[in-house]
Amino acid sequence: MAAASLSPSPTVPPVRRLFDSHGRVIHDLRVSITDRCNYKCVYCRSGEGDELYPELTIDEYLRLIQLFVGLGITKVRLTGGEPLLRRGLIELVQELARMRTLDGDPLDLAITTNGHLLTSLARPLKDAGLNRVTVSMDAVDRAVFERVTRVPGSFEKVLAGVRAAREEGLVPLKINCVLLRGFNDDQIEGFARFARDENVAVRFIEFMPLEEGRLWSPEIVVPLREVVERISKVLPLSELPQRDAGETARRYTFADGVGEIGIIAPVSQAFCGACSRVRLTSDGKIRTCLFSQVEHDLYGRMRSLLKGDVHESNTDDAQKELQEYICRTIHGKEARHHIGEPGFLKPSRSMVHIGG
Ligand code: SAM
């Protein structure tokens, strides 16, 4: 792995830190490293196609991520598709763990995964330097879970993966659950008990119009208010203070402090004003918002600047130009999404091809 050639050259000072025209500082990078997935969750994938977009090499992801880190990114989350399917993942995490932020600190390194392969990968990922994992689980009932994922045996695999990750210290361990009325909204109270039994933070996420098919409607979204009301009836909740201004989840705990519930409500209580994120797709395009109508071809620029040979050592000029391009792109980040408003347009890529 060409880690040495990825370090920012001391002769090229960082252009500036990333901020947009709405005054938001961007320090959180989500990188999709494949758009392949081994699950066919009913609300995400049609289950008919597989990957649509090319993957870059691990070295190429590292080069692109290094450009962002040189502009003030402090947190990198690997996602997909299913990131644990990606060959070279452990080497990628090892190299990311060696990078330093502009303040000289290690990156905050996380992965979002469906957990299917975590039992065998939790230890190598921890050893490679990963800090945390978020596991997606949309039911605590085996039959409901398998109806959502459309993969037999998936519930046992994921539960074992969650436990393996916790044992390896990939904590705080978060469980993401997307609620859909009529599919899995009967799981809310069960998830509250699961949060306590497994001592994890369960975060309910409102369903967004980012699916491959056509399922989304305002009626299928289970709003934050309803989740809190229903859990409070069986287990009293107390709200936790916000940790920082960019926090997307409203957090709650139980009377004895064991387990945590988070509510992420991008539809009913959008948090765009506090957004600190930018995304890089598996084929190296920058997306400034999940709902962007345009993408910015950072990888294409890197290739043309390096005359098609991205394996040759980078030049200071190319690095500077690419970082200026990133700054300009992020400056134009959308103020907010327009879900549910008249004229709302779904983005051309679905969640699995953007990187959730
Ligand atoms: N395969 C990995 C996983 O399952 O976590 C990472 C990719 S997946 C696209 C990332 C997250 O996006 C998952 O938690 C998934 O539930 C969520 N997701 C997918 N489609 C969504 C949608 N339309 N609205 C809200 N969340 C969605």
Confidence check: pLDDT of 309 > 70 = no
DSSP character string of 322-352: HHHHHHHHHHT--S---TTSTT----SS-HH
14 CA from centroid of ligand 1 (Å): 33
Region for residue 231 given its phi and psi (left: phi exceeds 0; alpha: psi -120 to 50; beta: otherwise)? alpha
Distance 205 CA to ligand 1 centre (A): 9
53 contacts: CB under 8 Å, gap ≥ 6: 35, 281, 282, 283, 349, 353
Nearest atom in ligand 1 to the alpha carbon of residue 211 is: 23
Q: Which of 205, 267, 277 to mutate to test the pocket of ligand 1 (most atoms within 8 A of CB)?
A: 205
117 CB less than 6 Å from ligand 1?
no
Please answer whether residues 230 and 189 qualify as being in contact, where contact means their C-beta atoms are separated by less than 8 angstroms.
yes
- By alpha-carbon position, which residue is closest to atom 11 of ligand 1? 356
CA distance 57 to 191: 38
State residue 308's pLDDT score. 54
Ranking 22-26, 155-159, 242-246 by mean pLDDT, the lowest is: 242-246
Q: 183: which 2 tokens?
A: 């599919």
Report whether pLDDT(311) > 70.
Answer: no
What is the pLDDT confidence band of residue 182, given thresholds at 50, 70 and 90?
very high
Check pocket membership of 149 for ligand 1, CB cut-off 6 A: no
pLDDT bucket at 7, cuts 50 / 70 / 90: very low
Ligand 1 pocket residue status of 282, Cβ below 6 Å: no
111 lines ligand 1 (CB under 6 A): no
Q: Whose CA is nearest to atom 2 of ligand 1?
A: 113
Q: Which residue's alpha carbon is nearest to atom 17 within ligand 1?
A: 356
Higher pLDDT, 4 or 310: 310
How far away, in angstroms, is 112 Cα from ligand 1 center? 9
* Beta bridge partners of residue 174, listed in sequence order: 134, 201
221 lines ligand 1 (CB under 6 A): no
Contact 221, 267 (CB under 8 A): yes
Three-class DSSP category at 279: strand
Query: Is the C-beta atom of 37 inside 6 A of ligand 1?
Result: yes
pLDDT for res 313: 57
Asked if 89 contacts 83 with a C-beta cutoff of 8 angstroms, the reply is: yes
> How much distance in Å is there from the Cα of 108 to the middle of ligand 1?
20
Burial of 72 (0-12, 13-18, 19+ CB in 10 A): middle
| Residue 219 pLDDT greater than 70, yes or no | yes
Question: Looking at the predicted structure, is the pLDDT value of residue 46 above 90?
Answer: no
Tokens 């992965």 correspond to 111
pLDDT at residue 107, rounded to an integer: 98
Among 12, 16, 20, 125, residue whose Cα is nearest residue 68? 16
Q: What is the mean pLDDT of the segment spanning 102-117?
A: 98
Give the whole-angstrom CA distance, residue 179 versus residue 213. Answer: 17
Ligand 1 contact via 265 beta carbon (within 6 Å): no
pLDDT of residue 310: 53
Q: Cα separations (Å) of 292 from 181, 231, 239, 279, 336? A: 26, 34, 32, 11, 10
Q: Is the CB of 351 under 6 A from ligand 1?
A: yes
Q: How far is the CA of 208 from the centre of ligand 1 (A)?
A: 10
With a pLDDT cut of 90, the percent of the chain lying above it is 77
Ligand 1 pocket test target in 30, 40, 44 with most atoms within 8 Å of CB: 44
The whole-number average pLDDT for the span 265-270 is 87
State whether the Cα torsion 4-169-41-233 is positive or negative.
Answer: negative
Over the stretch 51-63, which tens digit does the pLDDT of each residue have? 789 999 999 999 9
Phi, psi of 282 (to 5 degrees): -65, -25
H helices within 18-131, ranges in order? 58-69, 89-98, 118-128
Instruction: Tell how far the Cα of 321 is from the centroid of ligand 1, in angstroms.
Output: 33
Query: Residue 198: which region, alpha, beta or left (left: phi > 0; alpha: psi -120 to 50)?
Result: alpha
At residue 70, does pLDDT exceed 90? yes
Q: What is the Å distance from ligand 1's center to 200 Cα?
A: 18
Question: What's the predicted TM-score (pTM) here?
Answer: 0.93
> 4 or 22: whose pLDDT is higher?
22
Q: How many CB atoms lie within 10 A of CB 341?
A: 7
